[in-house]
Structures are given as structure tokens and as C-alpha cells.
Structure 1
Amino acid sequence: MTKLIVICGATATGKSGLALKLAKRLGSVILSADSRQVYREFNIGTAKPSLAEQQAVPHYLIDICNATETMTVADYQAQAQALINSLPNSPLLLVGGTGLYIRSIVQGMKIPRVAPNYELRSQLESLGQTTIYSILQQVDPIAAQKIHPNDPVRTLRALEVFYVTGVPISEQQGENPPEYPILQIGLDCEMDKLTERIYKRTEQMIADGLVAEVEYLCQKYGADLPLLNTLGYQEIKEYLAGKISLEEAEELTVLHTRQFAKRQRTWFRAYPQIEWFDANDADLLDKVWQRVISIKNSS
């Protein structure tokens, strides 16, 4: 039978809700694939499953990192792969909207384990993008062909890996897909309906105490903490600083979440292995369940 069932898609499409129901039917567990839910204390703004939900179905890869630490894709991949190999439940559910996390597992991405070197990055940045891209063309022409000349993030990362390891990043990358079978389920809906979902979820987050959560985190870690510059937290932080009203913070959160969701949809649509289902379908659970059963019966 399928070893891993992926439930992916844009934010607010109901991935977590579907996963909970499916996990209960399967007697399985859930592995989170969300790049912010890995951080402790960031709960409401990340739509982290509640304690009751985590008690109903065991969740892994949630609350595994302190807010002042950095969880890299390589770190996530290592922990996720270890869990998949050790947990007896079959299938396991990998659930979330962080495309790189999911891709690292289902495609077995080879990721150079080089921690961010901020001093090196600062030195390279001071040279300017044109210069560092030219350097990259010299030391790793294969990587340079795949990176846009105006992409400083990937240019810096490629040079960082080269200078730290002495080996071009192009020689350290690639894929080693797992041998076990994987079913990838994607949830999507029309953008206007997704916007409605985003509005409702944002309202619920504020009702659940998002403002108090952001205020507490700002007091504990300082307003400059990078995680506090992410969706939902940045907007509420501006409200707490007196720059905008709470209503404006809510509207900005919806706008920015909608923009993020569009990027997620584009990312996931590029992978033909994903089987798509309508997030608003009243029979969604039964249709997904039938797809799972059809694989079980044919195996």
C-alpha cells in the first residue's frame, strides 16, 4: 500500500481539516510540512493544529525549533525522512503548503548541508549583484546557467556553498526519489472562493487572540525577530506600533495572504504528479477516501 499520502495546496484550502479526518479513518499520523509551524510559540498566526487536534491524531514536525533558531530545508528533510523510515503506520500523511519541504521528501532533493554564513554573505553583498554573479559564472558556470543574473538570494547561496565546501553547488545538488509509493493530493478552488476562506480564517485568528500572541512574542524576542516579519505577524506588529488600525492590519493580512496563495498555486501546479480536488466540494473527504482505497485495492 502507499507509504506516504501528501496533502498539499495553497494556504486556507482546508488541508489540515481534511488530513485530520483522513488520518482518523486510516489510523495514521500526520507529518507537518509547514515552515512556520516548526517553531515553538508561533501558534495562532501559523494556523497550527490545536492541542485537541494534536491529541486526537499524533502530529510530528510541529514545535521542533526555537524561534531564535533556523530550521533549514536540509534539517527538515533529515527529520522527516527519519520519521518516515521509523514510524510503523502506513500510509503516513505529509500535510502542508511549504513546497520545498514537500519536494525535499517526495523527490529526494540532495541539499548541501551548509549553514548560513552571514559574515561571508555580507562581504559578497558589498561587491554588488553584477560582480558576484560574474564570480559565480567563473566558479560554477552550471549553477549560473540556472540562476537569473538578478537573483541575489540564489547567487549568494551558490557562492556560499562553494566557498565553505570548496565544491560547486551544482555538483552537490540533484534528486534521489524514495522507493516507496507516494500519493499526492492537492486542494484548490477558484480564487474568489479562496479569498473568502482567507478572510474567514484571518478573522478567526484575530478572534482567537492573534494580537495578544504577537504582543507577547515582541516582548519576549524583540520586534526585530525575523519570524515576526512573516504573514500575519508583520501586519499585527504594525498595528501594535500604532502605524495602522486593527482593521487595516486585517485587510493587509488578507491581501498579503492572497498574494502568497497565488504563488503557492503556481508552485504546486508545476508538478503533474499531484491529483487535484476541489476544496469546496461537499463530498471531498469521500472522494479522496475512494482514491486512497482504489490504490489499496490494486496493491
Structure 2
Amino acid sequence: MLKIAAIVGPTAVGKSKIAVEVAGIIGAEIISADSVQVYKGMNIGAAKITLEESYTTDGNFIPHHMLDIVEPDVQYSVADYKNAVEKLIPEILGRNKLPLLVGGTGLYIQAIIDPYQFEPIPTDWEYRKELHREAEVKGNEHVHGKLALVDPVTAARLHPNDLRRVIRALEVFKATGRPIWAQHRVGKEKSRYNLSIIGLTMPRELLYKRIDERVEQMIAQGFITEVENLLAAGYSCELPAMQSLGYKQICLYLNGKCTLEEAVSLIKRDTRRFAKRQLTWFKRDHRIKWYELTADTDKNRLAAEIATEIGRTINT
């Protein structure tokens, strides 16, 4: 069986830094599992790893894949991601390196580690327009409520403001009569990988503090300018990619619909809620070996411990 590993967890928990150190120890190449980091030009708001951060503390460069794949006006699906990564995995193994999935997009992770098959469902543009009009007139909560009636499982996972995914779930149900999660599980069987999944978490108060600090850091690094540059390049705030967490709120500010202070507050609040949903998603998977970080955690020591656990699990 092919060997792969994954490091998952909520946003801002510190996955990227620890994953680089783990990769250096076990001889891995990292595959990003983040639905926003696939977009070019979306760096600060997506917390995309920099070139400097791709080096271990002892100076070894760790290759990262599935970053900057498409332009922001391209609708990049989980099926697209699955197809690309399933070509990458044997290439990485062929270099005698271990593929290490790292990220917080649960569906991306699961689409790789479990053999999902995706039924191609065409876009119903008229139905999408109808739902967008309903959201404008009656609010996002109304459209989310429609989803809750037909697919409560997906509705519980999605925030009402994640309108793109809410509408897609309704679109799939309209086309097939089945919830979107059922489409993903068609043909599900035992994983074909020797797999080790590591989960990182931390006490909620500390995680929320880190989230708030990260948002402040993003603003200081030039997040507003990044969004302005994307708009100047012709990418609309209405694009699905630009409705991502952080970008949507900065768009509201730039369009005069809220103050910068309000936008920052919204990003912090919505990121905290997003982190909670990520944890809910990952906690369902009992294959995950969890490690809790604290303010005093020695990350290099933890990386060594995780590397040992990955080696033990995939070689069993």
C-alpha cells in the first residue's frame, strides 16, 4: 500500500510551522490542503506559507505543493483538487519522499485519504441566480434555512454567510434529490493508503487569542493592499474565491459598507466560528492522533514526537 500522512487542525493552531519540521525529520514533501491557498495572489489572507518559512530550523528546504494553482476567477472544486493530488502522490513517492497533507479544509483531506468518487453535476446558473436574489431580499439565513430542511447535516457544517457552498449544496440536492455529502460518499470503501493522521489542537482561549493576533498581523502585513490589488486586476468581490474568510470582510470595508474596525472584528469573529467548525469536522475521524499545544509547547520536540508517531503508524 502507498504511504501518506496528514497534519490537520483548526486555523491558527500552528500546522504549517510544525509540519515543516516534521517533514524535515521524516523526509516528506508537503501538499497543502487549503481551499483558498490554491488561488494566485491570495497570500496574506490565506496565511500562505512564505519561501522563508519553507525551511526547517536546521536549514533544509521543504517543497510545498498545491499552492498558487489557479487564478481567483476560476471555480476550483474538491474534485479538481483530488485529481491533481492523486497525480502528485506517486510522483513524490517516486522521489523516495513521503507525501504529507497539511491543512484545515476537511473535505480536501478526506477526498484524498478516503476513496471518494465525485459525480459530475452541472451548474444550474438560473437556480443560483434565484437563490442569490433570495439572499439579497430575505438574507443569507433564509437560504441557509432552505438547506437545513433538505440537508441538515451539511447545513450544520456550513455558516449561513458561506453562501457559495450553501447554494451549491442546494443546487446538488435539486439536481439529484440527495444531499451533497451523499455524492461524495458514492463508492466509498477502505482506504488504499498506509495512513497516519495527526491532529493539532489547543485550549480554546489560547486558540482564539492566536486567531485575533493573526488577523491583526495580516492587516499589518498589507492585507488591505492585497485585496485592493486583486480588485485592480479585475477580480470582483462577488467571485467565490473573494467571498472567502477575510477577503469578504475586507471587500465590505473597501466598498464602504463597514469601517475597518468593524471589518477586522468580523474577521476575528468569523474565524473563531470557522475554527470551531473545523474541529467539529475533524473530531468525527477516530483515526486522528491528537496533540494539544500550549503556550509553553516546545514545537521542535513536538515535531520529533509527531515524526516518530507517523513513522510507527505507516510502517505497521
> Structure 1 unaligned runs (5+)?
134-142, 163-168
Q: Which residue is equivalent to 2:53? A: 53
1:8–1:95 Cα contact (<8 Å) kept: yes
- AA aligned to 1:210 is F
In structure 1, the residue corresponding to 2:237 is in which secondary structure?
coil
| 1:59-107 deviation per Cα after TM superposition (whole angstroms, max 9, x unaligned) | 1111111111111111111111111122223421001000110110111
- AA aligned to 2:88 is L
Q: Which residue is equivalent to 1:284? A: 302
Q: TM-score, normalised by structure 1?
A: 0.82
Q: Which residue is equivalent to 1:165? A: none
Residue among 174, 181, 206 paired with 2:187: 174
Residue among 154, 171, 189 paired with 1:156: 171
Q: Which residue is equivalent to 1:15? A: 15
Matching of residues 203-218 of structure 1 within 5 Å: 203-218=216-231
Q: Which residue is equivalent to 1:225? A: 239
Gap change, CA 1:4 and 1:239, over 3 Å in 2: same
Residue among 96, 100, 105 paired with 1:93: 100
In structure 1, the residue corresponding to 2:117 is in which secondary structure?
coil
Superposition deviation, residue 228 in structure 1: 2.0
Check if 1:242 corresponds to 2:242: no
Superposition deviation, residue 19 in structure 1: 0.9
Q: Which residue is equivalent to 2:112? A: 105
1: distance between equivalents of 2:201 and 2:309? 17
2: distance between equivalents of 1:5 and 1:255? 31
Q: Which residue is equivalent to 2:72? A: 67
Percent of aligned pairs sharing the same letter: 36
- AA aligned to 2:242 is L
Gap change, CA 1:170 and 1:237, over 3 Å in 2: closer
Name which one, 1 or 2, has greater alpha-carbon Rg: 1
2: distance between equivalents of 1:22 and 1:36? 23
1:110–1:176 Cα contact (<8 Å) kept: no
2: distance between equivalents of 1:115 and 1:147? 20
Two-structure CA RMSD over aligned residues (Å): 3.2
Check if 1:270 corresponds to 2:266: no
1: distance between equivalents of 2:174 and 2:249? 33
Superposition deviation, residue 53 in structure 1: 3.5
Residue among 56, 70, 82 paired with 1:77: 82
Q: Which residue is equivalent to 1:118? A: 125
Q: Which residue is equivalent to 2:209? A: 196
- Counting matched residue pairs gives 280
1: distance between equivalents of 2:184 and 2:103? 29
| 1:128-169 deviation per Cα after TM superposition (whole angstroms, max 9, x unaligned) | 99xx99xxxxxxxxx989888xx864342033358xxxxxx7
- AA aligned to 2:263 is A
2: distance between equivalents of 1:251 and 1:171? 35
1:2–1:90 Cα contact (<8 Å) kept: no
Q: TM-score, normalised by structure 2?
A: 0.78
Superposition deviation, residue 51 in structure 1: 2.6
1: distance between equivalents of 2:306 and 2:152? 40
Gap change, CA 1:240 and 1:25, over 3 Å in 2: same
- AA aligned to 2:40 is R
2:115–2:192 Cα contact (<8 Å) kept: no
Bigger mean CA deviation after superposition, 280-289 or 213-222 = 280-289
2: distance between equivalents of 1:28 and 1:267? 25
1:120–1:160 Cα contact (<8 Å) kept: no
Q: Which residue is equivalent to 1:41? A: 41
